[in-house]
Structures are given as structure tokens and as C-alpha cells.
Amino acid sequence: MKKFFSILLGIFTLLAFKTNAQIPDAAQQVDNSNQRRQRAEAAEAFGTEAAEALRILYGGSVKPENAKALMTEQEIDGALVGGASLSAESFAAIVKY
């Protein structure tokens, strides 16, 4: 059980894998059912406490403009920032959302 608490799960949208994918509103693309299913499977395999401790990170077109909306999603615990991290100003805006 103790080792499970150090696991992070990264979720990416399919559109995020396209080069220079432009998702108008990434927050609207989030399907929390996927994350809920992952937590349910973790609960079945490792117990409720472990499933609640599981940290799910969203990756896919995270930008300063949508970071706040994404981070307020109930099933998202953090972000995997790609291209937006190449600009210090952009990355700082995401961190400070």
C-alpha cells in the first residue's frame, strides 16, 4: 500500500499527440468518466484509500488561457505541460493560475 501512494497517472487527450494540435477549449474536452474509471479500478485493486490518494495529471494543450478551468476539474490533480513550458512567461502563468 505504501508504494502505491507514490504513483501518478498521466492522462492525455488523443488530440494532444498531433503536432501543434489546437484545442479551442481543452477544459471542455476533459471527460472525467475516464479518470473516475481509473480511480474505480485502483480502488478495486488497492482499496479506497489508495484510490483517493491517486494523483491524476492532465496533459494535452495546457495553456495559460485554460489552466484554471482544467485545474478546477474535480478529477484532475495537476498538469503535464508540454509546449507551453518552452516559454518562461507562459509556464509561470500556468503555475500561478
Mean pLDDT along residues 43-58: 88
CB contact at 8 A, 67 and 79: yes
Other Cβ atoms within 10 Å of 40 Cβ, number: 11
* Structure confidence at residue 24 as a pLDDT band (50, 70, 90): very low
* Structure confidence at residue 90 as a pLDDT band (50, 70, 90): very high
Residues 6+ away with beta carbon under 8 Å from 90: 63, 64, 84
pTM of the predicted structure, to 2 decimals: 0.70
Q: What SS3 class is residue 55?
A: strand
Q: What is the pLDDT of residues 34-47, one digit of tens each?
A: 788 888 998 998 88
CB contact at 8 A, 29 and 12: no
